[in-house]
Chain A
Amino acid sequence: MIMWQMWIDMHLARYFEERVQWLFSKGLVHGTTHLGIGEEATAAGTIAAMKSQDYVFGTHRGHSQAIAKGIDVKYMMAEILARETGVCKGKGGSMHIADPDIHYFGADGVLGASAVMCVGTALATRKRKEEDRISVVFFGDGTSNEGATWEAMNLAAVWELPVLFVCVNNTYGMSTPIQDVMKDTDIAKRAYPFGMPAKTVDGNNVLEIYHASVEARKYVASGKGPMLLVENTYRISGHSKSDGNLYRTKEEIESWKEKCPIKAFRMYLIENELFTEEELDKAAKAAADEIEQAEEFAKASPEPSFDDLMNDVYA
């Protein structure tokens, strides 16, 4: 059932990232990672409305997207701990988590590129006359200023390709508030020049996201061309491990913690008597256990062998 799945996905994402944050603080994670604590509803709600055959391109803040698309947290944790069993064999890390076998083309470290590549998978779909398959690209408010994003929207629109553009607007590009870098912060308007429909939803309301995404998918799959969905949310965690939160107040962060998408969803599910408190807690506990097991699996996994280094290098 969709609601149950979204409940689990949001918890897996939250616990996964909290655990990664903790591992980081203990110096157990090499490199960097970008957490999206507080944004879990955007991935869970959007991807729940998609079909398994759909191509999905995530963001560099994409752990929740990868989980919702179906990557096992075990292999994702192993990737973050740079192990041989990682979903990218320890060669990609947090910024490049992907699994083309399940049509998830991952996290990309350079903003805007996913959008243009997503136009390409949609083009392939069109060429093969695959009717019920769309391509979805997640990108942030910051990336909505990239030229590549605009080029992708134009090309998808003029070729009427089945692309769903999903802007997860978390209010800040790293430390820069959107009003400093956008004359008009209504991102949905960016669809208008390309003749695309757009819809803005509360990005902390997983059900609103889900229903809008179902409608968006229906539109995009009907062959009318691309669509833009803007999901307004907030990143409670810092941008990356270097973030000292110098650009925003504690009060602001606290006020958004009150608007936590998981809390809101829990209230909805209980008030409408869809699930009991016990059922929800049990599922949350199971998600927490799964993350714990993922960590154990990752820690028990070997480092990649030097013999594997040059595999997949062809030039």
Chain B
Amino acid sequence: MKEITYAQAINDAMCEEMIRDETVFFMGEDIAEYCGAFGVSRGMLEKFGKDRIMNTPISEQAFVGAGIGAAMVGMRPIVELMFSDFMCVCFDELVNEAPKMRFMFGGKVKVPMVMRTPSGGGTGAAAQHSQSLEACLAHFPGLKVVIPSTPYDAKGLLKTAIRDDNPVMFLEQKTLYRTKGMVPEEEYTIPLGVADVKRSGTDCSIITYGRMVQMSLEAAQRLMEEGINVEVVDIRSLVPLDHKTIIESVRKTRHVLIVHEAVQFGGFGGEIAGQIADSEAFYYLDAPIRRLGALSCPIPFNPNLEKAVFPTVEKIVAQVKSLL
């Protein structure tokens, strides 16, 4: 095992897959010399050259569309969108093209493409560079949606995503890029659609993902000091969703709080709540299913206001207590 950052884990996953498979290549805005807005692709240009590490014009429809086209004829492109908010300028490619080709053409074509993009707030980047738009992506049949919370998960999940024969949206968490974690030195992958119980507990389940996992673990730590034993389930991928692990956890703890940093209204928490309410876990609940997401508000620039919009450790603690 070695300790590396979340950004390095992503970089390592890409490099290993590019060495393993020559059909894998990487393109996006300013990913070569500049190494991307968050420095994720540091050293890759030197390793692989400009034929495989390709700067694109500021032209999301063109390079996302080109990724789909290349994937349709057997390449495995990794495409980076500089900020996940920019997916809005290539929504046709993400919604109408990549996820639909295989089905619409009677199964004769596949789109093995990974779209990596930094997502979420907490960086003072304001309303157009801080969103968490995963719920709308999860809504479209044909897109897989992955959001890793640790370096270990990021590396293992990204390697699987690159090997997947279908389009995968890989939403990275900006504020986690510099966080560190232990990662095996030997080869490993993590299947999509398997949740990870990050902390086992008995009194309340927190179902979460992304940067809220760490906050939920901190909240669990504080609650433990008060004798409340919280379980933290990191779903890791929204599509496919590990329904079973969620239901088992809720059955065990009889209380559930769903936490995500995306806007609560219409957020993915609603889907998780629906899955719980539709299942046998409903009969085990001792309190209503509770959700905690961001306020319905564009993300403000001011740091104090921004903090007020998102879930915090304090808010998570308070919500858990209110359930018990």
Co-complex (A, B) = yes
A-side residues, CB < 8 A to B, are 55, 86-89, 91-92, 96, 98-101, 105-106, 108-110, 112-113, 115-125, 127, 135, 147-148, 151-152, 154-155, 158, 311-315
Q: B166, A120: Cβ atoms under 8 Å? A: no
In this complex, how many residues of chain B approach chain A with their Cβ under 8 Å: the count is 42
- Chain A residue at minimal CB-CB distance from B109: A100
> Residues of A contacting B25 with CB < 8 Å?
127
Question: Could you say which of A96, A127, A158, A314 has the most chain B C-beta atoms within 10 Å of its C-beta?
Answer: A314
Q: A311, B97: Cβ atoms under 8 Å? A: no
Q: A105, B62: Cβ atoms under 8 Å? A: no
CA distance A118 to B75 in the complex (A): 14
With A99-B108, A315-B144 given, is the CB distance from A118 to B103 under 8 Å? Answer: no
Besides the known contacts A88-B108, A117-B65, 9 further A-B residue pairs in the complex with CB atoms under 8 A apart: A109-B96, A110-B96, A113-B65, A113-B93, A117-B68, A119-B66, A121-B70, A314-B144, A315-B144
Could you give 14 example pairs across A and B, Cβ below 8 Å? A87-B106, A89-B107, A91-B104, A96-B105, A98-B108, A105-B105, A120-B68, A127-B51, A151-B57, A151-B65, A154-B62, A155-B66, A312-B107, A313-B141
- Chain A residue at minimal CB-CB distance from B239: A315
Q: A148, B106: Cβ atoms under 8 Å? A: no
> Residues of B contacting A106 with CB < 8 Å?
105
Interface of B, helix, strand, loop or mixed by DSSP: mixed
> Residues of B contacting A152 with CB < 8 Å?
61-62, 65
B116 CB to closest chain A CB, in angstroms?
17
Q: B51, A148: Cβ atoms under 8 Å? A: no
Over the window 203-225 of chain B, the binary record of Cβ atoms lying under 8 Å from chain A Cβ atoms (1 yes, 0 no) is: 00000000000000000000000
B-side residues, CB < 8 A to A, are 25, 51, 56-57, 59, 61-75, 77, 92-93, 96-97, 99, 102-109, 141-144, 165-166, 239-240
Q: B75, A127: Cβ atoms under 8 Å? A: yes
> Residues of A contacting B70 with CB < 8 Å?
120-121, 123-124, 127
CA distance A155 to B70 in the complex (A): 14
CA distance A124 to B93 in the complex (A): 18
> Residues of A contacting B69 with CB < 8 Å?
105, 116-124, 135
CA distance A242 to B292 in the complex (A): 47
Partner of B62, one of A89, A101, A148: A148
CA distance A293 to B104 in the complex (A): 25
B2 CB to closest chain A CB, in angstroms?
33
B51 CB to closest chain A CB, in angstroms?
7
CA distance A100 to B74 in the complex (A): 11
CA distance A135 to B70 in the complex (A): 11
- Chain B residue at minimal CB-CB distance from A55: B73
> Residues of A contacting B143 with CB < 8 Å?
315
Q: B96, A113: Cβ atoms under 8 Å? A: yes
> Residues of B contacting A158 with CB < 8 Å?
57
- Chain B residue at minimal CB-CB distance from A314: B166
> Residues of B contacting A86 with CB < 8 Å?
106
CA distance A124 to B65 in the complex (A): 13
Q: B64, A124: Cβ atoms under 8 Å? A: no
B177 CB to closest chain A CB, in angstroms?
26
